[in-house]
Structure 1
Amino acid sequence: MQTQTLTRCPAQGGSCWRPLLLIAASLLGTLSCAPPEPVRVGFIGGLSGRVADLGIGGRNGAILAVEQRNRSGGINGRPIELIAEDDQQDTEIAKQAVARLLARQVEVIIGPMTSAMAIAVVPQINATTVPLISPTVTTNALTGIDDQFFRVVAPTARHVFKSAEYHYRQLGLRRVVLVCDLRNKAYTESWAGDFRQAFVALGGKVVGEIGFAEDDALSTLAARALASGPDGVLIIANSVDTGLLVQQIRLRDRKVQLATAEWAATERLIELGGQAVEGVVVAQYVDRQNDRPAYLAFLEAYRERFAHEPGFAGLTAFDATNVALDALASMQKQQTLKQALLARGEFVGAQSLIRFDTNGDTERDTFLSRIHDGEFRSLP
């Protein structure tokens, strides 16, 4: 092993400090060129399994928002790093995923994408100062609570009446059956309860409510849904099960009116349902005919980046991520991110303004469409 020692420099009459000065200058140069610490943003959603279309759309929307912000200089000169976790639509896995994100010291978490996962992880998040901003969670169970949970879509109680009115007044339905996926009970119970209340108040009748889980045969489910002779069947489930269930119902009844809640409103519904889903009325959180320049720019950028349609999940996750990044950029010293979110209150989304109330809830319209020739067509 060689060691460096200081020796006298006879020509200069002093100690040879030059090697140390060079080393110090080199270290300073290295430090000054070191990249700034990134701003870490977490994402959690179902990236595998039956609801992967929702989670992948959400993750991609978050990716696009982060990439665009990084191209504009990041946040106060710091790059943004997105860390994505798959909750696999399992409550324990979701909790473990959140724990990993917190261990990575994320500033905020975008997600989850379903109400069941939100119910599972919100208590865990509330023990921290890290906000959870969901793109798609609408359960009423998280409404009006002062906690770390925010969302960029409205709770079901604020928009389901629109579906009820359309089915009663425009389609003339009077006797409907509701079919609910119990694996996302926090969402489906909220949606079904609010729809029932609005539909009955108009003069309609819910003649059956059928819950199903993973092991239930869709053929049996279709027969049960039609047993009471309803004039409409409204399915509150993910796009995969909705598409397959519609096929089973159409094998038995070609005339009964079929409709879905917002959860099913992705391109996967059309891909899987095929001809059977033609004519189905679909509620969704995106106005697909919107011509606002910001939305058209988002749509073009998303399609170019990922080669598929963003749907409502891509749009709302893009909005949720930009809300988080805007709040992080404006956060003052000694201010938590929750305080920054509430202090600003209003954010610009791709299609509409996002205004949080004091509990992190917001208003967002829902839109009705009908599937025609393999496309979602907006209804007046």
Structure 2
Amino acid sequence: MLASILMTVRKRRQPIIRLALSTMVAALLLGALACSPPEPVRIGFLGGLSGRVADLGIGGRNGAMLAVEMRNRQGGINGRPIELIAEDDRQDVEVAKQAAGRLLAQKPEVVIGPMTSAMALAILPQFNTAGVPLISPTVTTNALTGLDDQFFRVVAPTAAHVSKSAEYHFRENGLRRPVLVCDLRNKAYSESWAGDFRTAFERLGGEIIAEVGFESGQSLAALASSVLAEQPDGVVIIANSVDTALLVQQLRMRAADLRIATSEWAATERLLELGGRAVEGLVVAQYVDRGSTSPAYLAFLRAYRERFAHEPGFPGLTGFDATNVALDALAARSRGQTLKQALLTQASFAGAQSPIRFDAGGDTRRDTFLSVIRDGKFESLQ
């Protein structure tokens, strides 16, 4: 009889024990969830981190890293930490498409990059399909102007600023019959820049006597000889910093007093390092006012130098700006609003040197600055 009673008690206690255990497990799980860190906000970076365009990509990535680190120290976005995922496009169309696919597979809110126009044209269809904004620090091709897509940029298209270079070289530098030399590996940029320069220069009364294309990495000695065979009074190089520096050396060996100019693409510290004495006197277009005394810019400059121990140049500055634009839009986005809508809705974003305002096509206006290389430094011509 006693054994029967005990068995009945045990049977009655089993549901109570199971309920208690279930309650304890649920409480532990809720506690674990409460203590676990919030899901990070993922953003991507895509740019050339190796090869001849590495100065552009590394500068842009470092600017993005600095913006993310500074924002994380301030608490991230609504209490969520920000995670930056970087990929190298190696300035190669197929590599860029694969890298873009890997980034998109990780479900980023936005991707900063790419850094060249050719790569932007190659990968933009993937971002349009995914509905993920692409904010470029440096892409300026006119081919992406005024489109209703996922592409945004924090620098102006070439049509908005190249005329400043053309006017300076005609009126101040005395060019009348220059040759344009274009890097065909970034044809979307170089042809856009060359076309706008030609239009503005010929309107002033000058003549572009030849336009010579080359593939990055080919013999620059032979290229220099073919350019000088046109007997120009100057050469305007539209190429990356490495090829520009090496081509200038070849040109100077053959024509020491030749007037030489560049587009904005070459205007990094790599040009100074590789070009040495040959680039002295070179007139260089810039996306950054290196003489700016703006408190925001000086604060950025100090932070970048302390973090990376080198100069940011224009890719570091515009990479920083593009990332802060993305982070500000993510923080301000309202419930149910896409990031594209948030980017277009916000009237103005703070840049380190100037405000950034997008039009309906994701384009903005940004001034350019002309400088000359003197004593191994960029010196403003303004």
TM class, shorter-length: over 0.9
Match of 2:370 in 1: 368
Structure 1: tracts of 5 or more residues without a match:
1-6
Look up the match of 1:239: 241
Distance 2:138 2:278 in 1: 26
Report the TM-score when normalising by structure 2.
0.95
Aligned partner of 1:297 in structure 2 is 299
Instruction: Please tell me whether the aligned partners of residues 160 and 194 of structure 1 are also in contact (alpha carbons under 8 angstroms).
Output: yes
**1:17-32 matched pairs, under 5 angstroms:** 18-32=20-34
Secondary structure, counterpart of 2:209 in structure 1: strand
Distance 2:215 2:360 in 1: 36
* In structure 2, C-alpha distance between the alignment counterparts of 1:35 and 1:241, rounded to whole Å: 47
Return the alpha-carbon distance in structure 2 between the equivalents of residues 15 and 125 of structure 1: 55
3-state DSSP class of the match of 2:337? coil
CA contact (8 A) 1:233 1:257 kept: yes
Does the CA-based 8 Å contact 1:40-1:81 persist in structure 2?
yes
Three-state SS of the structure 2 residue aligned to 1:179 is: strand
1:320 aligns with 2:309: no
The answer to whether the 8 Å contact 2:176/2:233 transfers is yes
Q: Tell me if 1:138 matches 2:124.
A: no
Name the counterpart of 1:176. Answer: 178
Residue of structure 2 in register with 1:356 after alignment: 358
Matched AA of 1:217: S
1:95 deviates by: 0.9
Q: Which moved further from structure 2: 353-362 or 21-30?
A: 21-30
Following the alignment from structure 2 to structure 1, what is the Cα–Cα distance between the partners of residues 108 and 362? 19
Query: Quick one: structure 1 residues 23 and 185, their matched pair in 2 at CA, closer, same or farther if it must change by over 3 Å?
Result: same
* 2:65 is the alignment partner of 1:63: yes
Whichever residue aligns with residue 341 of structure 1, its letter is L
| Farther-moved stretch of structure 1 (108-117 vs 208-217) | 208-217
Q: 1:178 to 1:14 in 2, by over 3 A?
A: closer
The 8 Å contact of residues 217 and 243 in structure 2, kept in 1 or not, is answered as no
Q: Give the structure 1 partner of residue 5 of structure 2.
A: none
1:25-40 matched pairs, under 5 angstroms: 25-40=27-42
CA–CA distance in 2 between the matches of 1:265 and 1:216?
21
Q: Is the 8 A contact 2:46 2:111 kept in 1?
A: yes
Alignment of 1:328-347 (within 5 A): 328-347=330-349
TM-score normalised according to structure 1 size? 0.95
Q: Could you tell me which amino acid in structure 1 is paired with residue 118 of structure 2?
A: A
Structure 1, 120-129 or 302-311: larger mean CA deviation:
120-129
The answer to whether 1:122 aligns with 2:124 is yes
Relative to total residues, which structure has the larger helix share, 1 or 2?
A: 2
1:226 equivalent to 2:265? Answer: no
1:92, CA displacement in angstroms?
1.0
Q: What's the C-alpha RMSD, in Å, of the aligned pairs? A: 1.6
Say which SS state the counterpart of residue 354 (structure 1) adopts. Answer: coil
Q: Aligned AA for 2:221?
A: S
Report the counterpart of residue 47 of structure 1 in structure 2: 49
Paired AA for residue 69 in structure 1: R
| C-alpha displacement of 1:24 | 3.1
Question: What displacement does 1:192 show?
Answer: 0.4
Supply the distance in 1 between the matched residues of 2:48 and 2:354 (Cα, whole angstroms). Answer: 26
SS at match of 1:105: coil
Measure the CA separation in 2 of the matches of 1:277 and 1:14: 85
- Aligned match of 1:3: none
Residue 151 of structure 1: which of 130, 150, 153 is its match? 153
Residues matched between the structures, number:
373
What's the CA shift for 1:126?
1.0
Equivalent-residue separation in structure 2 for 1:81 and 1:271 (angstroms)? 33
Contact 1:9 1:15 in 2 (8 A): no
Asked whether 1:272 is paired with 2:279, we answer no
Identical positions, percent = 71
1:163 aligns with 2:168: no
Counterpart of 1:90?
92
Which residue number in structure 2 is paired with residue 209 of structure 1?
Answer: 211
Question: What is the Cα deviation at residue 128 of structure 1?
Answer: 1.9
Question: 2: distance between equivalents of 1:113 and 1:354?
Answer: 18
Give the whole-Å Cα distance in 2 for the aligned partners of 1:371 and 1:8.
93
- Kept after mapping to 2: 8 A contact 1:42/1:109: yes
